[in-house]
Amino acid sequence: MPDRRCVNHSGMRQQSERRGAIAVFTAILLVPLLGMVAFAVDYGYLLKKRADLQRAADAAVLAAVRDLVPDANGIQDLAKVRATLRQYADLNIQEIENFQVLDADIQIGRYDPESVYDNFTIVDWGTFDTVRVTLRFDKQANSPVSLFFARLLGINESDLNATSTAILQKGSLLAPGVGVMPFTIPKAEWDATEVGEIWTIYGDGRLEDNIGAEIPGNWGTCDIGKPYNSTSDIRDQIDVGLRQGDLDALAAEGRNDSTEYIDSSRPMYLNGDPGISTGMRSAVVRAEGKTKLIPIFDSVMGNGSGVEFHVVGWAVCEVIDSHWGGDKNTYVKIKKSYTYDSFLRPNTDLRVTEGVVEGAFAAAALVQ
C-alpha cells in the first residue's frame, strides 16, 4: 500500500511553496500598484485644484477688467484694477487665507487687434482694455499643493498655476436698453474734441465748444424711432434708453435694416428738430451725471421740423448740467467721455476697430 503520510506531506509542501511564490509576486507588484493608486488619487485631486484655480482666475480678470473703463476725464485707475483682481481671486480661493497674487503675475494693457487669433499680444500704450493674471500654488506664492499617496513614492507636493485673460469689447450694436441722448452733434468738431472737454447746447440752436467759441452748423434733437416724435417720446427715451418700438419704427421707415439693433458702423438718416424743448427738462435733469450715447452727423438736409440728419456714428457723452430759462438762456452741458453699457453689443470679430462707438465698452470677455 502507498504511504499516505508521505503523499500528504508532499502536497502540503507544494502548497506552502505556492503560497510563498504568491507572496513574493504580490510584494513585487505592490510598488507599482501603490504607484497607480497614488497617481489616480493625487492626479484627480490636482485636476480639481487646477480647475478651481482656473475658475478663480477667470472670475478675477472678468471683474477687474470692468474697472478699466476710464472716468469722464479719460483716467484709468490701474491700482483699483489690481485691487479688484486680488479681491476676487481671494474670494474664489477660500481654502487659504489671504491668497497672494504677485505683481509680476498681473499684466494690464491694450490688446493688439491683429494678434487676437494668433499669438495674442498685449501692448502698454493707448487706452487699456485687457487684464491678464496668473494664479499659482508654488514656491513663489501660496506654497505648492500637498499630495497624499504620492508621498509613499517620495513625491510630497506639486506646483499648480492657471492663467486667464479678459478684454473689454468695443461697443458696436445698439440694442434695446442702451442709454441714448436724442440730440445730434457734428462729427468733425466732435472728433477734434478731447476727452473731458465740455460743450454747451443752447435752446435757440447755438452750440459752443470748451472755450465758449460757437460751433457753426445745425444741430438739434433727433427722432431715434418714428419721425416727428413728440416731446414725451424723447423724454421717455432719455429716461429708459433705446426701446424696441424705436427699432421697429426705424425698420418700418426703411432707416435701419434690423429690428434687433442699430449698427453703429452703418450710416442712417434721422428726422429731427433744431433747438431744445423745455418739455424734456425733467428727463435731462435726471440724466445729469450719467453717460449716454449720442448720434453724430456729417450733413443735414432740410430745415425746421423736416430736417434730416445724416448720422454716421455714435459718441459717448456725460450730461454735466442744464439750465432752463427761455431759448437763449436754456442750455445743456455735455462732456466727451467713456462708458460701459451692458446692453451695448460688441462686434463678434475682435479684429474690427472701424465703426465701433469710440469710448463705449460692451461686455467683458475671456480670450484665452
- Specify the higher pLDDT residue, 343 or 304: 343
For cell 424711432, what's the residue?
225
What is the structure's pLDDT at 7? 47
What is the structure's pLDDT at 303? 74
Does the pLDDT of residue 345 top 60, yes or no? yes
Quick check: 76 and 68 in contact, CB under 8 A?
yes
Does the pLDDT of residue 237 top 90, yes or no? yes
What is the structure's pLDDT at 282? 95
**Chain-centre distance of CA 195, in angstroms?**
21
Could you tell me the pLDDT band of residue 51, with boundaries at 50, 70 and 90?
very high
| 360-366 vs 344-346, strand pairing mode | unpaired
C-alpha cell at 6: 508521505
Per the prediction, the chain carries an average pLDDT of 87
pLDDT in tens, 316-342: 999 999 999 876 789 999 999 999 998
pLDDT, average across residues 30-39: 64
What is the structure's pLDDT at 306? 75
pLDDT in tens, 175-221: 999 999 999 889 988 999 999 999 998 888 788 888 888 887 667 78
Does the pLDDT of residue 20 top 70, yes or no? no
Q: What is the dihedral of CA 92, 94, 99, 104, to 10 degrees?
A: -30
- Specify the higher pLDDT residue, 107 or 220: 107
pTM over 0.85: no
- Specify the higher pLDDT residue, 60 or 152: 60
CA atoms within 13 A on the CB side of 268: 26
pLDDT, average across residues 54-68: 97
CA distance 193 to 204: 22
Could you tell me the pLDDT band of residue 278, with boundaries at 50, 70 and 90?
confident
